[in-house]
Structure 1
Amino acid sequence: MTRQAMAGTTLRGELIAEALAMAIIITLGDSAAAMLILYDPSPYATAYWGVCIAWGLAVTIAIYVTGAVSGTHANPAVTLALTLFRGFPRAKVLPYVVAQVVGAMIGAALVHQLFGPVIDAYNVTHGLTRAGGGAAGVFFTAPGAHITPLHAFWDEVILTGILLLGIFAITDEFNTSAPMANASALVIGLLVACIGAAAGYLEGWPINPARDFGPRLFCWLTGWGDAALPGPDNYWWVPIAGPLLGGVIGAGMYQYLVKPYLPPRTSVAA
């Protein structure tokens, strides 16, 4: 096999892994959202942390399944930050992002398969329609009470900045306080859960453009129409632009404000 053919095979495997990672995350995470929204009483009515931990563990599982193949970016904000600060090949950025969005759409389709009848019953019971946005919160995010789209944008800048600051610290091999490789997936999942527990009611803590846009695109194709894209008040761009900017800021903070001051690594002569 030629070097070019081997490179093509490797990239194909990486893209499959990125799509699979996002499919896992959305299938489990949006299913938890369905359990919260569609049922009355909801099993999470007084236990919101359960939704947060479900999302976090979904990320952890995705990393364990696909990390050895693609590194499990599973987030365009992560891919962009790794490109700018850790030498991820620029030629792979667009394919990775497309794979992530496709995987998120697949995850949304699986959630629709699981909960489709419950979604329709919920909408009938509450006098809602898909075109009117009924049960859309199962799949994609929206501003919470008192939150405007512009405010939500800056929320996502801050929250995704925290996410990438944490990911860069957790995965830095020279950070002596970081968890070992086999534990980093769990800690990253807990970081996602912590962000949700701290600020999830603001706008659903997308902190990942593919997490929101993939399901939103799926819903646009399956009856939600304008309620999905462009969404009320043209909200669709907020969960894309906010995380991309925030991810760069958070990763940059680690690279320039933390990494240069790590304890020096010294070699011991044999």
Structure 2
Amino acid sequence: MGRIESENISEDSPLPLKGRLIGELISEMLAVAIIITLGDSAAAMIILYDPSPYATAYWGVCIAWGLAVTLAIFVTGSVSGTHANPAVTLALMLFRGFPKRKVLPYMAAQVVGGFIGAALVLQMYGPVIDAFNATHELTRAAGGASGVFFTNPGLHITPTHAFWDEVILTGILLLGIFAITDEYNTVAPMANSGAFMIGLLVAGIGASGGYLEAWPINPARDLGPRIFAFFAGWGSSALPGKDFYMWVPIAGPLVGGVVGAAIYQYGVKPFQNREEMAGASDADIPA
């Protein structure tokens, strides 16, 4: 998300092709691990503590997720471009020339990163989770404190409705990312400020729609922790989830990401800076 391009390391790099790809996959894994470790920790703070430090300051949770994304970009952007999201990787392949051979490895690395991040969160908050479940007469198998790790539909939200929510929210995410990282967009953030803007974009989406289904907008953000939780005692409440909910945070973002990226590529980009581009063409014409 930090640096969108078709190849993230120059072909002139002394590293062999296989070595470069391994570095990119480690980068993607690390990026998602950072996001989940910090983001799911914020979720733990709002769910497990009473009174919650975020009870009257939900924006703080959104900012925590946004800053986690910004940090991930700063740490890994120079290696892999910090997709950190299968929806981003898919959109880049379809619209910005990202190599098809890297798509599945990137997605797998992102899911592994989510798994690792969730493991780190359980290491930190395990005793608090167990105390919370005991206090509320819940168990992991029954889904107790599951919202720390993976997303669930909010009040009055069915899985089908949640799918369309995620199409819309992830569409906005990719629309924003494509605009922010477009080198020909003359009003896009300059230099490294793009990382902050993408983080604020994630925070803004959470502030606007987070209570619907915890705004996954990223299949790896939900699936990686969900797989970990399955093995850590949450069982079927994680996979496949109540009402087979696990498909929603995967399919919704993938579809929405393509839609949002397509809107930018075909509905905005062809018409940007028309007058400036025409002026530059005229200037290039010999007298």
Percent sequence identity over aligned pairs:
74
Q: What is the Cα-based RMSD across aligned positions, in Å?
A: 1.4
Asked if residue 142 in structure 1 is aligned to residue 152 in structure 2, the reply is yes
2:186 aligns with one of 176, 195, 198: 176
Matches within 5 A, 1:112-123: 112-123=122-133
2:117 aligns with one of 107, 112, 137: 107
Distance in 1 separating the partners of 2:191 and 2:123? 35
Asked if residue 70 in structure 1 is aligned to residue 97 in structure 2, the reply is no
Structure 1 residue 181, shift from structure 2 partner: 2.9
Asked if residue 48 in structure 1 is aligned to residue 58 in structure 2, the reply is yes
Letter in 2 for 1:208: N
Letter in 2 for 1:203: E
**Which SS does the other structure have where 1:260 is aligned?**
helix
Letter in 1 for 2:25: L
1:240 aligns with one of 237, 243, 250: 250
Letter in 2 for 1:158: I
- Which residue pairs with 1:32 in the alignment? 42
- Which residue pairs with 1:252 in the alignment? 262
2:95 aligns with one of 77, 85, 94: 85
- Which residue pairs with 2:8 in the alignment? none
Structure 1 residue 57, shift from structure 2 partner: 0.3
Distance in 2 separating the partners of 1:80 and 1:181? 25
Structure 1 residue 64, shift from structure 2 partner: 0.4
Distance in 2 separating the partners of 1:244 and 1:230? 18
Letter in 2 for 1:234: F
Runs of 5+ unmatched residues, structure 1? none
Distance in 2 separating the partners of 1:5 and 1:71? 17
Distance in 1 separating the partners of 2:14 and 2:78? 21
Whichever of the two has the greater Rg, that structure is 2
Structure 1 residue 174, shift from structure 2 partner: 0.1
Letter in 2 for 1:218: F
**TM-score, normalization: structure 2?**
0.91
Distance in 2 separating the partners of 1:234 and 1:60? 32
- Which residue pairs with 2:29 in the alignment? 19
Distance in 2 separating the partners of 1:5 and 1:184? 28
Distance in 1 separating the partners of 2:50 and 2:273? 53
Alpha-carbon spacing, 1:4–1:123, altered in 2? closer, same or farther (3 Å): same
**Which SS does the other structure have where 1:176 is aligned?**
coil
1:232-258, CA deviations, whole angstroms, 9 ceiling, x for partnerless residues? Answer: 000000000000000000000000000
Distance in 2 separating the partners of 1:4 and 1:38? 49
- Which residue pairs with 1:158 in the alignment? 168
Query: Structure 1 runs of 4+ off > 6 angstroms?
Result: 2-5
Structure 1 residue 103, shift from structure 2 partner: 0.5
| Alignment length (residue pairs) | 268
Structure 1 residue 3, shift from structure 2 partner: 8.9
Letter in 2 for 1:100: Q
Distance in 2 separating the partners of 1:3 and 1:170? 27
**Which SS does the other structure have where 2:16 is aligned?**
helix
**TM-score, normalization: structure 1?**
0.97
- Which residue pairs with 1:124 in the alignment? 134
1:132-160, CA deviations, whole angstroms, 9 ceiling, x for partnerless residues? Answer: 00000000000000000000000000000
